[in-house]
Structure 1
Amino acid sequence: MINSDLEISFDKISFAVSFVVNFVLIYLTLFRINQMCRTYKKMVIIFAICGIIFTLAKVIIRPFSHNYNKCTLFFSLNTYLSQSVVQFLLASSGGLFTIILVLISIQFLYRFLCLLHIKKAYQFDQMSSVIWMIYPLVPGSFYGLSVYFLCIPDKYADDYMKDVVNEYYGMKIENVPRFIMIPYASDNSLRWKNLLFFIFAVLLVWFHYAIMLYCGLKMHFNMKQELKKFSVSNQNLQKQFFYALLVQSLGPTVFLVIPIAPTLLVPLLYPFLNMEIDWQTGWLYSIMGIYPPFDSIAFILIVAEYRKVIIRMWSIR
């Protein structure tokens, strides 16, 4: 069995802290920060809003997972909404996870353009915000829909996991809002729908990580030379934005990608592991709630103007 009360309390605390910290970040960005361009302000605000939504979704959906040999069971412990509604929200939460990663990759791309390709950065600024604001919804929706349509449970999947669900969680599997990922059938042949989901998930994550890595390395190795084009104050600001981005990419990596990676990769690698697997991996989802306040606090601490504004506001009181 799982300690559901402890999990609920942790998720509620994560949401409360995320709401307060991100609300402060949004307020400061909108009304108190002057050295940040309008486009980047929008990115910071949207990212903060996503952090609030993400932690709120965890409180409502209560996602959990269990890895059993070649299977990953992704399900909800929500007991007060209808099963069909929770199942839709469960798939959507995976899409939200992808949207957050995409937003970070867009920020990396924009900072890369601001530092190394000023004219293209101006074109980015002039481009309708709707374009880059809508783009994250495309891979996010693709991920969510792939969960919903490629991982919908069938008889083989339910039969494979029903005893596990009953033993560990005291529930009948048909009453649980769930998605089941089993890439191999009983004869070790490929279950293509589930396998396609794993392929799509890995490609979506690593494509956008590749953008972050490429832009990050380019900025790192060219920053010293390129900063000579800016004033001294602007040089410091560009450095702060770069370091803030690095930390913002570290947060999702540590608190989102690393926790979810075992639940996705173990079923694919199971035929080569030569071991029995029976893990309650759902506690990893509680770790995910740490990332929104972590990223926002780091951003406020690294970008000097936020620190100065907060100190002035505090001293006035």
Structure 2
Amino acid sequence: MIDFEIPNILVRIGLAASFFSNFLMIYLTLFHIKKLTGTYKKMVIMFAICGIMFTSVEVIARPFSHNYNKSVIYFSLNTYLSPRTLQIFLVLWAGFFSGITGLIAIQFIYRFLCLCHIKKAKKFERMSNIIWMVYPLIPGGLFGSSFILFCIPDKYTDDYMKEIIFDTYGFVIGELSRFIIIPYDSDDCLRWKNLFPLLLGVFLVWFHYVIMLYCVFKMHFNMKKELIKFSVRHRKLHKQFFYALVAQSLGPTVLMALPVAPIFIAPLISPYIDLEISWQTGWLHLLFGLYPPFDSCAFILIVSEYRKVVKSE
């Protein structure tokens, strides 16, 4: 049995840290930072808002997961709301996870265009409200809805998980708000409906990280040549934004993408390597809520104008 108060307390601490750091980020960006304008200013504010919303949904959903052999159950530790309501919040939380990676990828594309293709960056700005505000909803909506469409528990999944859930957590599985993924049946034949969310999640993370890596390497190897076009002040600013964006990508990478990898990969490979596991992988979810304060603090520390304002206050 686990002490459910521990994850509850840690999630609330994450929300407080996220609200304080991201509210500070929004306040400074709106009222004190003069060098940050236009589309990128909106992106910074939107990213901070998403951080607050993500940790707020986490407090309500209280997501947890358990990997058992070739299966993974994604469920809520919240006992105060109805199962249907909690399922919605679980879906929202999963959607935020995917949507945030999409928003980071859009920021990388914009910074790349600002540095290497100024004319294209101006075109991007004219379409910015359509592109970068709507686009993250696509991967977020796809990944979140895949749980509703393909991971609703059935008799086979409940029977497979009910003993381990009761023995480990003391929960009757029928009373949980849950989604269960078992990509293989008892004969190790593929259950395509459960396989799809795993493959979709892996693809969306891979796709956005390929974009980020491409932009990072292009900016890194072309920065010296491209910065000659700008004034000394703008050279310094472009470098700081580049380093801040790289730091911001490290937060979701270390605190979200890497922790979720074993949760997704274990059910896929277990039949082929005869893997027998029973992992309380929900503890890894607690790392997810740390990325919003990490990203905001990294941005404030790297961009000199933010540092100056914070020191002067």
TM-score of the aligned structures, taking structure 1 as reference length: 0.97
Q: How does 1:290-309 map to 2 (within 5 A)?
A: 290-309=290-309
Kindly report which structure 2 residues correspond to 1:220-239, keeping only aligned pairs within 5 A, or say none: 220-239=220-239
Q: Which amino acid in the other structure matches residue 79 of structure 1?
A: T
Matches within 5 A, 1:144-293: 144-293=144-293
CA distance in 2, matches of 1:266, 1:285: 16
Q: Secondary structure at the match of 1:124?
A: helix
Partner of 1:104: 104
Q: Runs ≥4 in structure 1, deviation > 3 angstroms? A: none
Deviations 1:188-230 (A, max 9, x none): 1000001111111111111111110111110011001101111
Once residues 129 and 37 of structure 2 are traced to their aligned partners in structure 1, the CA distance between those partners, rounded to angstroms, is 13
Partner of 2:86: 86
By how many angstroms is 1:275 displaced? 2.9
Opposite residue 28 of structure 1, the aligned amino acid is: L
For 2:147, the aligned partner's letter is: V
What's the counterpart of residue 27 of structure 1?
Answer: 27
SS at match of 2:298: helix
Partner of 1:77: 77
C-alpha distance in structure 2 between counterparts of 1:17 and 1:210, whole Å: 30
Distance 1:179 1:70 in 2: 15
Match of 2:114 in 1: 114
Taking every aligned residue pair, what percent have the same amino acid on both sides?
A: 58
Q: Which residue of 1 aligns with 2:12?
A: 12
Contact 2:39 2:128 in 1 (8 A): no
Return the offset for 1:273.
2.5
Distance 1:114 1:292 in 2: 25
- Residue type at the aligned position of 1:43: M
Name the aligned partner's letter for residue 204 of structure 2.
L
CA distance in 2, matches of 1:111, 1:40: 8
Give, as a single letter, the amino acid of the residue that structure 2 aligns with 1:268: L
SS of the residue corresponding to residue 183 of structure 1 reads coil
Aligned partner of 2:133 in structure 1 is 133
- Are residues 1:42 and 2:30 paired? no
Q: Secondary structure at the match of 1:65?
A: strand
Task: Write the letter of the residue equivalent to 1:11.
Answer: V
Offset of 1:11 from its aligned partner?
0.7
Matched position secondary structure for 2:103: helix
Q: What letter is aligned with 2:242? A: F
Q: CA deviation at 1:89?
A: 1.2
Read off the aligned partner of 1:305 and give its amino acid letter.
E
Q: Distance in 2 between matches of 1:280 and 1:312?
A: 45
User: Counterparts of 1:190 and 1:310 in 2: how far apart (Å)?
Assistant: 55
Q: Per-residue deviation at 1:187? A: 0.4
Task: Measure the CA separation in 1 of the matches of 2:129 and 2:100.
Answer: 17
1:60 corresponds to:
60
For 1:55 and 1:233, the matched residues in 2 are separated by 36
Answer yes or no: is the 8 Å Cα contact 2:72–2:181 preserved in 1. Answer: yes
Which segment drifts farther, 121-130 or 256-265? 121-130
Q: Distance in 2 between matches of 1:208 and 1:128?
A: 18
Letter in 2 for 1:24: L
Aligned residues: 313
Q: Secondary structure in 1 aligned to 2:254? A: helix
Q: Which runs of 5+ in 2 are unaligned?
A: none
Shift of residue 109, structure 1, vs aligned partner? 0.2
RMSD (Å), alpha carbons: 0.9
The Cα of 1:37 is off from its aligned counterpart by 2.1
Q: Structure 2 CA distance, aligned partners of 1:57 and 1:149?
A: 21
SS of alignment partner, residue 179 of structure 2: strand
Once residues 286 and 132 of structure 1 are traced to their aligned partners in structure 2, the CA distance between those partners, rounded to angstroms, is 28
Unpaired stretches in structure 1, ≥5 consecutive residues = none
Q: Deviations over 1:57-78 (max 9, x none)?
A: 1111110000000001100011
Give the C-alpha shift of residue 128 in structure 1: 4.7
Q: TM-score, normalised by structure 2?
A: 0.98
3-state SS, counterpart of residue 73 of structure 1 = strand
